[in-house]
Chain A
């Protein structure tokens, strides 16, 4: 008898460990699987039991509910106020396009057998039968773009690295998921780490790399141990190592842990950090694909990007690109966060509207007070007003709307939010996290926060607003990397979409 109690850190942050403990205490004979989270975080702790008709869910379960669950004979899907029925049938989940997250919450993240039982390694096995060119062609054909935020075509990047002649090359997985409102990387690593490993191995074979690095945040201790455990299993089963699945391919992965620096999510700063140095942004060219980690050709992709690759190889580029709109093909793993009633992972084909995400999936605010603002794409993303809820969620439409998709994080605010304070925070965050290399970001962010503070306090409001807009232009066009260049996005969008918060009038 298997009972699933998520070991995901979001679930554990509200008591999943205690729930698991209570269940184990009640019936030590039960096999409790610590799966990842299904992503319906509003249902955590979501306890599932395996029944002949499928997995039946209860949630949200607290430790105090456990006794009553046993009383209700939940192991046999007994009736209980928390009974959700068959998990797969829950509309919130059933209506999603789970591709990258297909296995998250379903499989035991530490079991390679479970992974294979759910379609794992099919992509890699197919890739092993292809030439490097053919793998890259397939990925190119799928239209997959970098999910870390920049949206760069993955096939093109791989091809550049593949064509370099160096004997040593790197695959670097950027798992420095620092944007507030994003947690998809973490959940994937905690819930289905073999998918990431498989994606990296395929990338390595495609470009001729032998070494992989996953740069993981120190704020994600749970993900670090989950991934390390999976790497060890993968090594023991020749998914990593010197003879991958019995072939002559060689590839291994090391985890390098961040040390509290948002800018290290910028790819060149990440390389510096992996090299053990100050996480300072490098000027490009040279691009990392030619001269990356330790000066060697390097593929840098985000967790979600690499984790989508096995599916593309397994099911074909055509299947993948059937999803999405325009040049935004496939699915995006949206993350609903902040003041949201039903927060969590919503993986949908590009083209879903903001409104669907916020209201259909998110069910509005957690507080129940009216929605006022939505920040899309992390701390460097724009603040959208309720007037913009019909925006189509894809790279191009968001750009047109004055925003950006970023890593797909959507933070919902109710009416209590002060957008001038949020704008100031955007500058403060930049000041706190700037690597300090280029002037617009290094000095500009501090001056920006100071200037917004003056506006809030009603000091020379018009002059300072003009100065702030001038600064935004300098930061946008003058900064060395996206951190400084995008910080004006939340600031300007707040000023434009919520001008009433920038009058300097006391609130």
Chain B
């Protein structure tokens, strides 16, 4: 294996279209206008020495090594800062230029260690060698060679003695990352790089690594490079953290991973990274990794390590026994958004083919399922419309319920670049997130709504647009369904949707809504980005549709700079959804009830698929408690920590007879498991991840599998043991089967991915290299469908007993349940979940900053540390859910999105009290009654409440139920529910359902 080398052209590519021809060293070179002479020369293969320039950063012109001569011009300008012009004649090498370069290098060497700790990594010595000089003649009385190293950052060192003050780190922090944490302090010879006069760890640095990446010498160096040594080979792969899906070069020395270097050619990240992807990969080789399968008869028994075949037989026997006793539908599986498309595809295939039912769901259920539903209904496809690059073409960006600087940092940097270039920002969030006001960025509007009132705000915005003549009629007429638009326009123009009416619920001043609506509607290119603050609500799907309505009404679909863009939480949320891991859908979002779709799979797999939807995750829990669901295979999701209402989840898990967990580590869920199957980290996988922009990126094995086999092999073995033989030679073979059965993936293969780097689906005969922007000519569903989005307040309300609203989110350094990041040095930044409380709420309850508080909701209570801040408004508290000790989900409730059952994580009524104790053993609430029946009643009524009352809602309710509920649930709705608990619409819907049967 060899090192992958990405050339550095010194300055960024020009965006100009017109071409310019010039002569460089006698060679005729033609490049885009405004290209630097340096870049033009390098493109023509003429190497000009350089140190301060790099093509990720604007030209700076400080090192003076790249000087050149131009016919007819005085002096020796730097080639990085001088643009080409037509007919120019440039000389890059002459005696004069050599003398200047040697002279400059001699000055550098007069204040630089003769030998650098990083050896050949130091570009200074490389360039010195190239221009033929190794020592300096100067006496060097004053130097910086005795400055102390800053080792405070866990991942990299700052050694000022090797610093050449080229500003690349400072500029990278400003231009690429947008944090402005670095500066030069002092001036002249005393000028040094500084993280604002403090150590790196105390500074504003977010440890993204851009400075380390940019540093040409050993001044900023990964600690691993110093301890392990220079890498000898590299592999291009994809980060396994968030949905940005950054491409990295994994650089290895032998079997050891030296460092992860962001890939400039990576479509999603273009050479940038964040602290997690760049540095927090140590979990992959952590000693906590379980590499041997384990089984036990009861969850109170100790684990027993066994062979793979014994574990698989044990698991299969357990599952088969359940199916014999309780029916074919009494088991199921959960796929993981952390796993590759190939692994997910194989798991859902196992459930459908080997388990013989549709009880497969994905952890995307609890994050972005409303995106799938909402965008499917309006646009006809369940995905974001743009690529990330698009944001740089936006004039107004609306950011709703997302905190990209923490959760999608690399995309946030891109957004900040757009904002610094002049784009305006509208933030809709209960919290004062960083982008509301951060160096270089100030949001034009922050609509600080109360949790749970998204739909009120989006409707109010749309109301202003509809009633102030701001609708893009041309777009709507040309692209959207006329009837649905007419109905929507009439609906949204109703006084009930005015900002003045809705102000009481949302607490956003009407004037602010009006101003924001005007700003967005009048933008040349308006784009909307959103996160889980949109989806994880009882009206998550309604909100997604409201967003889609707004984009269509303002004509912001189908070109660069616009669109509706979900920011996906996990690396492969998009992919796991694409792969058919919803119980009602096969790959490519095709409903299970469609016989033509089923036929494709029946033929390919040699089986007969069930035609009705299987259970969603919450349905599984309810059914387990009801005794109907007894066996579960769960891959790479820690449902016991991450799913809401922990007591309910634990009760369900305890009720099951065969819980199979496949993961890297023992986790909260494995406490309830009977079989533990070791999984592989992303460094061992061979497959693909699909990021939030539908970009399919290759995940390549960087190291040998620590469990001796690939993860999909384990799945295949289990399927085979269940009686349905499955096997694949490699990931490529699985992708071939995906392509064969899934029209949007028809043109995708590993060979093509290797050739193109990445592909944004749909990729088929019409779009052979993929589709960066969707819905360009027409919507996937044909005409854009407007949906009426009545605001239905959630039942989760602040009460006298629980007067505050809790909402949840992530921090930069930790990731979701923390299984990975908690096993890295990232804990230095954030080592426990903290509850953010507004000063007035804290004062009222006698809570001090940094003290323990008891946090309780109607479903449970927990203890965490309070942080008093004005980042949350009075009445709202906020926490992360990264640590099992605090178990934030003990508090969150069973309430969920009406259309998709995505949990309402973002709104929980709570109360706080000072606590003298820290977190102890979890106190679980006893689950009573028939939770399944309660869910069925709640869900049915909720669907009815959210379907517009205007036209035969009972038909739509019935249709919705048939589309998404299992037959068993529908049966209980018929037979077991106390009819007085149901709304009249539901009762009518039941009659329709009876007729249908």
Contacts and interface: CB of A to CB of B under 8 A. Distances in A.
A451 B138 CA distance: 7
B135 to A, nearest CB: 13
Given A284-B81, A285-B81, A474-B103, A436 B165 contact: yes
A435 B184 CA distance: 10
Given A283-B81, A438-B62, A477 B100 contact: yes
Interface residues of A, number: 39
Interface stretch (B139-147, B238-246, B461-469, B797-805): B139-147
B184 A471 contact: no
A433 B191 CA distance: 11
A245 B107 CA distance: 57
A480 B62 CA distance: 7
A477 B62 contact: no
Contacts of A283: 59-61, 78, 81
A477 B184 CA distance: 25
A443 B103 CA distance: 11
Contacts of A433: 187-188
B49 to A, nearest CB: 12
B137 interface: yes
B43 to A, nearest CB: 20
A478 B141 contact: no
Interface in A264-290: 278-280, 283-285
Given A433-B188, A450-B138, A477-B96, A439 B62 contact: yes
A499 to B, nearest CB: 22
B76 interface: yes
A448 B836 CA distance: 57
A436 B100 contact: no
Interface centre among A431, A436, A445, A480 (most CB of B within 10 A): A436
Contacts of A478: 64, 67, 76, 100, 103-104
A470 to B, nearest CB: 6
Contacts of B81: 283-285
B63 interface: yes
Interface string B134-178: 000111111000000000000000000000110100000000000
A374 B262 CA distance: 58
Nearest to B186: A436
B30 interface: no
A470 B139 CA distance: 15
A479 B187 contact: no
Interface in B29-66: 59-64
A249 interface: no
A474 B109 CA distance: 14
Contacts of B61: 283, 438, 480
Given A283-B60, A451-B139, A478-B76, A436 B107 contact: no
A450 B139 contact: yes
A261 B187 contact: yes
Interface residues of B, number: 40
Interface string B100-116: 10011011101100000
A477 B62 CA distance: 13
B188 A447 contact: no
Contacts of A467: 137-138
B16 to A, nearest CB: 14
Nearest to B65: A439
Given A454-B139, A473-B100, A478-B76, A447 B107 contact: yes
A443 B83 contact: no
Contacts of B183: 278
A242 interface: no
B99 interface: yes
Contacts of B100: 473-474, 477-478
A467 B106 CA distance: 11
A324 interface: no
A322 to B, nearest CB: 31
Contacts of A442: 165, 188-189, 191
The 9 lowest CB-CB distance pairs between A and B, nearest first, are A436-B191, A474-B103, A283-B61, A434-B188, A283-B81, A443-B107, A446-B189, A478-B64, A436-B187
Given A438-B62, A477-B67, 9 more contacts: A432-B188, A434-B189, A436-B191, A438-B61, A442-B188, A447-B140, A451-B139, A474-B100, A478-B100
18 contacts: A435-B191, A436-B184, A437-B62, A437-B191, A438-B61, A438-B62, A439-B63, A439-B107, A446-B188, A450-B139, A451-B138, A451-B139, A473-B99, A473-B103, A474-B100, A477-B75, A477-B96, A478-B103
Interface of A: 261, 263, 278-280, 283-285, 430-440, 442-447, 450-451, 453-454, 463, 467, 470-471, 473-474, 477-480
